[in-house]
Amino acid sequence: MSTETATNTETTHDQSVVILTELAAKEVMNIVASQELDADKVRLRVGVKGGGCSGFSYLLDLTETQKDSDEVFEQHGIKIIVDPKSMLYLAGVTVDFKDEIMGRGFVFNNPNATSSCGCGSSFSA
């Protein structure tokens, strides 16, 4: 299975995992530090839920709770967990972080989405 590594400048994408960019990982680490969470215990839960203007909404959450059924990935020092239902819609998705004049936040690039809303926080598949 191919993965991204923080030391490798060339990124290999595997369609069976959720990809976290280095910039997104740094922002997650900043949030963990600012909230004084235990970096060894905290996980980034990536998921989807029904709703939003296009059918599904993306979900990002910092948690210490992990289920046995969760898919687990580690990239750039961040442990990422995805529940099996969400994995159906998120396999191959890239989570990035943008800090631009028009907005700041996490951005999803989802190859499974057939359409997405203008704000980029919901999609249909």
Express each pLDDT in 51-84 by its tens digit: 656 577 889 999 999 999 999 999 999 999 999 9
For 18-31, b/e burial (b = at least 16 CB within 10 A) is bbbbbbbbebbeee
| CA dihedral (92, 56, 122, 125) positive or negative | positive
The architecture of the domain spanning 19-112 is Sandwich (2.60)
Half-sphere exposure in the Cβ direction for 15 (13 Å, CA): 3
Tokens representing 57 are: 């909404």
Categorize the per-residue pLDDT at 49 as very low, low, confident or very high, splitting at 50, 70 and 90: confident
Indicate the domain borders of the chain. 19-112
Q: How high is the mean pLDDT of the chain?
A: 80
End-to-end CA distance of the chain: 25
Categorize the per-residue pLDDT at 103 as very low, low, confident or very high, splitting at 50, 70 and 90: confident
Tokens representing 34 are: 């600012």
Categorize the per-residue pLDDT at 38 as very low, low, confident or very high, splitting at 50, 70 and 90: very high
